[in-house]
């Protein structure tokens, strides 16, 4: 479903926000964090119709700053911290997503 781990993390973060997750940002008027989250676009890849985020190279070409804070936020969704309350089906789905991504790319 996802081309790489970065796309998986961002979509988990988006799902959390849609389901009512809340972010406290003290610099509301000039929030670079909010802008970083809003600027990242996605598309379907040509490799198996998988979800792919805008690459950092594409962002650089468009003169968009690297979304370091947004990446750090998305990284918190790489693995659920509350795994004990997940159903067995959810655990299997997450493991399958991670295995699918790991088969294509190695994690540093």
Residue 3 confidence (pLDDT): 81
Burial of 83 (0-12, 13-18, 19+ CB in 10 A): exposed
Residue pLDDT, tens place only, 22-31: 887 776 666 7
Residue pLDDT, tens place only, 60-91: 899 988 888 899 999 988 875 455 555 677 67
Residue pLDDT, tens place only, 84-97: 555 677 677 777 77
What would the mean pLDDT of 41-45 be, rounded to a whole number? 83
DSSP string across the chain:
-BSSHHHHHHHHHHHHHHTT-----S--TT-HHHHHHHH--EEE-TTTS-EEEPPHHHHHHTTPPP-HHHHHHHHTTSS-S-GGGS-HHHHHHHHHHHHHHHHHS---
């Amino acid at each position: 479903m996802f081309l790489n781990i970065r796309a998986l993390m961002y979509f988990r973060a988006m799902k959390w926000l849609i389901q009512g997750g809340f972010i406290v940002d003290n610099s509301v008027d000039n929030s670079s964090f909010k802008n970083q989250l809003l600027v990242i676009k996605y598309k379907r890849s040509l490799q198996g119709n998988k979800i792919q985020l805008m690459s950092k190279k594409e962002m650089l070409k468009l003169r968009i700053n690297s979304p370091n804070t947004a990446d750090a936020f998305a990284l918190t969704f790489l693995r659920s911290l509350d795994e004990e309350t997940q159903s067995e089906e959810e655990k299997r789905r997450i493991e399958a997503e991670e295995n699918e991504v790991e088969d294509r790319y190695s994690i540093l």
